[in-house]
Structure 1
Amino acid sequence: MLHEKPVQHGPPGFHEDGTSRPWTGEKRRRKCLPPSSSDSPTTAQDHPDLISHDATDMEDIIQRGQDHKLWVPGEDERWGPEVDISEEDAISYIERLAPDDPDDLYPRCMMTYAEFEDVRERIARYRIAYYKKVAKPESARELKGPEKYSRDELWKEKYFEHLEDDESFEGYFLREHSMLHDLDDYQRLVVSYTAHGSPGSKFLFWEDYCARYHTYDMDDVYVKYYQELSKRIKWLEGYWNFNGKSEEWEKMNVRAWRQALKIALSFPKMTLRLVSFAFDEYIWELKSDVSAKDLDLVYFEIWRLVAKQNRSFKKALEEVYAMDKFHSQKHRMAAELEGALFIWSMEDMTEEHEARTLFRNIVYKHKHMNMAEYARQKMEIAALMGLAPRFQDQE
């Protein structure tokens, strides 16, 4: 039964079988339960579609998002664990959100050869503009301004596609998207390292994001909403426990979800799908942050005892476990003491500040990028290319 689905422990759209299929956030929210609640009618795991919020005419989608009346929070507006929004009010918030776009909003209509050449020329000029701003000055000076190249020159230079191979180039254009008639140039742009699998944070749902053709306007409102959501429901992290089954967590999770719906009313073009994804993404990040809290310090204390005081690894782990700190990592240390031990090797002469930095990097370098972070970086790249305005933070 839908209401018996287990609580979601993975990121939005994560399945136990290892696949990732983001949900759509349809009318399952009518009961006003949070996406991450074990009592939710469904979770991200049940819906094969990601957020759909693009239009063949960008002005249409912008106008449609502006048609609903925005709610402006007052100075005395309260948020937190003591603020309990009723189910009836939460339903009314849902009804006031901007409508979700249909899944078939973008027919895969291919453009003519002449249209494709126009797109390639525009993209070539974006590449030049971006490269001149981010590459080494001596390299950038070799290029003329983007508008000073003729069509023949762009063609002879193969539209400057080679610039995307430069290490300073963080964005590139998907060729398959460049051939679709109904997309704008922002929708054709992607962030490079996420696609190529380079080291660093990665956006788990990059392929789904690209498949849904996000517009600049929807990325813009999503990032600003996520910033506000992260501030307003930060209180929720104090209620998370590592099994996620406490009644208090379930109650506060519902409370935070309804507050998330209310927060969304002050943002134009926010749809139920976007609110749902943002909430699930925030919960996943909250759990990840709590899980990683102080872990680098635990590693450092164990290393210090082993490298500087000649303790055995197990003895050092026992001593750190007995300390009256690192409470968020007690469960992890207990598991290590009872099972297989994790082992790393470091030179005894390693400086302490180097060890601290190393362990901090070990803990945090594999943290996944969320959609708000990805979208913000994409908008910044687009602004440098001259194809979109510079992003302005939510005040």
Structure 2
Amino acid sequence: MANLPSSPPIRDDDSRSARVSALDSRRRTRRPRPSTRVDDPTSGRVRTIDSRRPGTSFRVSGSSKPCAPANKELEEADNEIQRLNELRLGDDISYEEYSGYLRQLPSKPDVDTSTKLDAVQIKELNARHALYRSKYYQLSQRQAPKDKIYYDKWKECRHREFLEERFCKYCEEDSKLDWYFHPDYCKLAGLEDYQRLVPRNYGGYEYVRWDEYHRDCHSYETEQEYIKYCEELSKKLKWMEAYVPNKSPSIKWGRILTRGAYQAIKIATDFSMMTGNLAFPGFYEWFDSMTFDVCYYNELDGVFYEIWQRYTNERTFRDSLDEVYKLNRFPLRQHIMRAALENDTLCSDLEEEFLSCTICLKEFAEDKSQITEDKARELIAEALRKETPKPKFYEDYCRKKIDIARAIGLISR
């Protein structure tokens, strides 16, 4: 069995960007690298979070006497933080307060990898797991019967435990189930069946850090808390969305990222099982997820809907786009629309994406009043997500795993 890491590292921002970019070769857009340099308000120096032990160690990487250009950047950063404070967007947390929040977080629980199941326990575990597999397979067939041969074979041997176990094991190994019980974890006596359960990573890239997601063997209670933690980040750090389109390595962006990270650790203290090893990677994964939404989804459904309303045989895409741009209703998309209006190639690319994402509205082309704006935007948003699939993070992994566990009866509903 692979060693269970005591501290999951924060991924390097360049590698994160490369993975997201690889999933969208059509756009070939690499997201800017957010600075990990943070300002220490107590010393005036620039510090960097030590990625080897997230949030627990800092090293000074700047001078207390910045040069003239840095003075200007510092002034811009100070002004932006002051503006956020006046608007009450985010929490103004000092380094000392942040350190106090960090100390409140519990340590990561140890996983016993030395105590193994004996032969009798393994036999009981295999029988129990066979029932879980057969139950899930029956449920999946009732919902969407795709392979009658498999189902008939199961019915023929359902009253014979040995054949049932062999058949269900075959289904699992043949990827007929979208999850499995990890064979290494099935040897450990200290784990519950929920901790042994692993959703499949189809293609090897469905989940961004799948190996790390299952290797930590978190409990159901911990993963349920992690989902709630991510939901709180989405509510309380929504103010960060406005900085994504124009973010670039700078002192100001470093302050913004630090402000968000410090607030995330404060939020984590509201959850009894949220360790620093989960809270820090959780913040950066949430930030990646939010950045992807801002770059590829947010407001684009509204832009395409407004263009669709104006787009006719008599009115070109460019004319429709120009009208929507002048509305100035979509701040996250103004720069994209302006760039498309100034560049024929970009305009052609945007038109191609528009046509692809509004084909779902074809039946309403003659009478656009037959569909409401909300429904039309919902269909466009769904098409956008199919056009540009989003990478799945630990929150998605936990949701999938909990859904499976509930379906097979590992946990109560």
User: What SS is found at the alignment partner of 1:40?
Assistant: strand
Match of residue 402 from structure 2: 379
Matched, 1:161 2:163: no
Moved more, 324-333 or 238-247: 238-247
Matched, 1:196 2:198: no
Structure number with the higher helix fraction is 2
Match of residue 327 from structure 1: 331
User: What SS is found at the alignment partner of 2:108?
Assistant: coil
Matched, 1:184 2:192: yes
Match of residue 360 from structure 1: 381
Whole-angstrom distance in 1 between the partners of 2:12 and 2:326: 32
What amino acid is the match of 2:105? L
Match of residue 364 from structure 2: 351
1:177-219: CA deviations, max 9, x gaps? 4455654322221234xx2259xx9432223312333332321
1:272-295: CA deviations, max 9, x gaps? 111101211222222223332211
Larger radius of gyration: 2
What amino acid is the match of 2:384? V
Whole-angstrom distance in 2 between the partners of 1:166 and 1:107: 28
Match of residue 298 from structure 1: 303
Q: CA deviation at 1:124?
A: 0.8
Q: Cα–Cα, structure 1 residues 39 and 119, in superposed 2: closer, same or farther, change >3 Å?
A: same
1:81–1:252 CA contact under 8 A, matched in 2: no
Matched, 1:212 2:216: yes
User: What SS is found at the alignment partner of 1:14?
Assistant: helix
Q: CA deviation at 1:161?
A: 3.2
What amino acid is the match of 1:92? G
Report the count of equivalent residues: 327
1:233-285: CA deviations, max 9, x gaps? 33333454432456555434323322222222232222111110121122222
Structure 1 unaligned runs (5+)? 1-6, 21-27, 49-78, 391-395
Instruction: Specify which of 94, 105, 126 is matched with residue 120 of structure 1.
Output: 126
Q: Cα–Cα, structure 1 residues 264 and 29, in superposed 2: closer, same or farther, change >3 Å?
A: farther
1:223–1:375 CA contact under 8 A, matched in 2: yes
User: What SS is found at the alignment partner of 1:190?
Assistant: strand
User: What SS is found at the alignment partner of 2:390?
Assistant: coil
Q: Cα–Cα, structure 1 residues 297 and 197, in superposed 2: closer, same or farther, change >3 Å?
A: farther
RMSD between superposed Cα atoms in Å: 4.6
Whole-angstrom distance in 1 between the partners of 2:183 and 2:330: 49
Moved more, 293-302 or 156-165: 156-165
What is the TM-score when the length of structure 2 is the normalising length? Answer: 0.62
What amino acid is the match of 1:278? G
Q: CA deviation at 1:81?
A: 2.8
Whole-angstrom distance in 2 between the partners of 1:272 and 1:106: 20
Match of residue 103 from structure 2: 95
What amino acid is the match of 1:219? E
Structure 2 unaligned runs (5+)? 1-10, 23-35, 55-86, 146-150, 366-370
What is the TM-score when the length of structure 1 is the normalising length? Answer: 0.65
2:208–2:391 CA contact under 8 A, matched in 1: yes
Q: Cα–Cα, structure 1 residues 174 and 271, in superposed 2: closer, same or farther, change >3 Å?
A: same
Match of residue 251 from structure 1: 255
Match of residue 230 from structure 1: 234
Q: Cα–Cα, structure 1 residues 241 and 39, in superposed 2: closer, same or farther, change >3 Å?
A: farther
Instruction: Specify which of 106, 121, 136 is matched with residue 142 of structure 2.
Output: 136
Whole-angstrom distance in 2 between the partners of 1:97 and 1:317: 50
